[in-house]
Chains A and B, each alone.
Chain A
Amino acid sequence: MEALFGILLLMALMIFGVPVAWSFAGVLMFLVWAYDVNTATLLLQGYRSLDSVILLALPLFVLAGYLMQSGGVAARLISFMSMMMRGRKGGLGAALIGSSGVFGAISGTATAAVASIGTIMGDPLAARGYPRGYTSAMLGVSSLLGILIPPSITLILFGVVTRQSITALFAATIVPGLLLMVGLMIFNKIATARMLVDTPERLAAIKAQKSPHGPMRATIQAAPALMMPVVILGGIYGGVFTPTEAAAVALFMAILIGFFIYRDLTLSRFRQSLVEAGETTGTIILILLFSFMIGRIMVAESVPQELTEAVTQVSENKILILILVNAFLIFVGMIMDDLSVTVVIAPLMMPLMMHHGVDPVHYASIVACSVVIGANSPPVAPILYMACRIGKVSIHEAIKPALQIIFYVALPVMLMVTFVPELSLFVPRLLGLH
């Protein structure tokens, strides 16, 4: 009962506008009072969870994302993708989705993809007749490919909190990520066939935006950027380095490419990226610190076991329980941010899932898919809001296309991932990770 009230309090504090990290502190304070917890070593336990080598991947991937943004990697990727998709109706929309996928395979965050891809592609897409609401909605959903396609910061956090192999989690979401990417491309093809009309303005914009250098130059320029996912993922799955080491290598490559190959990275931009990445990391870590302590109290008070028993008393039907868990994750994602869902709500339901024979690695895929939907579903929709701010459009214009994309693409992908475990388990088993 106290735990349920704690979750309600968390939602209330967040909706009231208390920063997410401090909302967690509020719940922690409530739980300390409600369960009469001895606080002598509470923060020490939270500190010990932060003192983790695996968690080192977080600041490194966050910083790599910032450096790719300021070092010109995103611009070259978009130029390459646009060239690949040229000459097709809806091609630039598909380039946005493809760029988000490749960017996700390097940085592991959605916000970096929204900021860099949205800034570069927003105006060219508008000039070609794409409604800004549609562009922002598509950007919002496709940027979350970064959560599914490894490396993924969300999965690193989930793995740290639930003590699962990060490498196996990364492998589990590859197929769901590709499925979402293909689904988005098909949706974009169908939607743009109806939406885009060849007005003189649109044709003029297409003509004006044709690169004078052709596909070869775009490919050569993008080659160093395209090498990054090969090195990162090849290194991890080839057994050359751990995810943490891969993050350091990615960062080193981002520095080299930004300073010496593209030369877009200056010392002042580098310094700025370091500070901004530190801020972002600090924000995430404070949430994680409080959530670790909340998790400790909940485990000590057997809350996950009680939740499992309570749900099992209602039904033992695995399909019904999976549907309920899906619905709950989406609902919670609609009113909370993705981090809260990943580090507090999802781990709470882990024993319930395991009780019903759901593999933890499979469950991680389900959680990641729910984050894609939750981060773009109003009222909170943090990624959709950000995409709208960058796309210079009111949220009201983006809600309808966002809900259409979620309903026709993201939700079916989540259901497929939920009810076909092989989609998540095939790659980890193939690689001998699970």
Chain B
Amino acid sequence: MVEFFRKLDSGLIGLLNIIVIVTSLAITGLILFLVAARYFLGWSVVGVLELATLSAIWLYMCGAVVAARNHQHLVVDFLSLSLTNPRTKALHTFAVSLVMVVLSLFFLSLASDMVAWSMKRPQTTAALSIPLIIPQSAVVLAAIFCGVYAVRDAVAAGFSVFGRASSNTGRTDPWKRFSAFFF
């Protein structure tokens, strides 16, 4: 089961990395094309900025998920650095991760409200008539996966607090601890 989660995770992160790379290059290329078309060809190309912002939304949201997965979100670590007792530190991590699970669920509920509204009143972009649900689905994806990683971290942190200290289920790999908890 650990292997299954790990493979799922590495497949997902590989896919997200590809989206991040492709969208970054797409935004750069599209904006450069816009500048070049204006100055060298005298063209005013319609819809390029729409494509660039659409790519940007996917970049923003996939970047946010990658950061959540790698624990790269900006943290004020003043308190955690001042805690020296390992048990207190583990309890603190667990408490923070529980707060994050609650907040991720809140984000998810906002996302579901957005989807419901967009289904009721479908909208498209002005120039290229691209359905807005395409960029909006990136936000939904971010809400889902931020939630998944928050649950993973909470379970892993919970296991560090309540699990056996000498457990051979692994103390550093969150997926190992997650799997050991549930299966």
Binding site for B on A (CB under 8 A): 13-22, 25-26, 28-29, 39-44, 47, 50-53, 55-56, 59-60, 63, 240-241, 244-245, 247-249, 251-252, 271, 274-275, 277-283, 285-287, 289, 335-337, 339, 379-380, 382
Contacts and interface: CB of A to CB of B under 8 A. Distances in A.
Contact of B110 (A42, A60, A336): A42
B21 A271 contact: yes
B31 A47 contact: no
A305 B52 CA distance: 36
A43 B114 contact: yes
A283 B53 contact: no
Contact of B99 (A22, A240, A251): A22
A17 B117 contact: no
Contacts of B35: 241, 245, 248-249
A281 B118 CA distance: 26
Given A17-B92, A41-B117, A287-B74, A56 B31 contact: yes
B56 A56 contact: yes
Given A17-B77, A282-B60, A382-B76, 4 more contacts: A17-B76, A29-B106, A51-B135, A60-B31
B99 to A, nearest CB: 5
A279 B56 contact: no
Contacts of A43: 110-111, 113-114, 139
Contacts of B61: 282, 285
Interface in B56-82: 56-57, 59-67, 70, 72-80
Interface string B6-23: 000000000001001101
Given A275-B66, A283-B63, A19 B100 contact: yes
Interface of B: 17, 20-21, 23-25, 27-28, 31-32, 34-35, 39, 49, 52-53, 56-57, 59-67, 70, 72-80, 92, 95-96, 99-100, 103-104, 106-107, 109-111, 113-114, 116-118, 135-136, 139, 142
Contacts of A44: 114, 117-118, 136
A282 B65 contact: yes
Contacts of B103: 18, 22, 25-26, 29
A278 B73 contact: no
Contacts of A53: 49, 52-53
A53 B114 CA distance: 22
B31 A248 contact: yes
A281 B63 contact: yes
Given A245-B31, A249-B35, A279-B66, A274 B21 contact: yes
Given A17-B96, A60-B28, A280 B63 contact: yes
Contacts of B28: 60, 63, 248, 251-252
A122 B53 CA distance: 39
Contact of B64 (A42, A240, A241, A282): A282
Contacts of A244: 31
Nearest to A245: B35
Contact of B52 (A56, A240, A275): A56
25 contacts: A13-B99, A15-B76, A16-B95, A17-B78, A17-B92, A17-B96, A18-B100, A41-B117, A43-B110, A43-B114, A56-B53, A60-B27, A63-B28, A244-B31, A245-B34, A248-B35, A249-B32, A279-B20, A280-B63, A280-B67, A282-B62, A283-B74, A339-B74, A380-B76, A382-B76
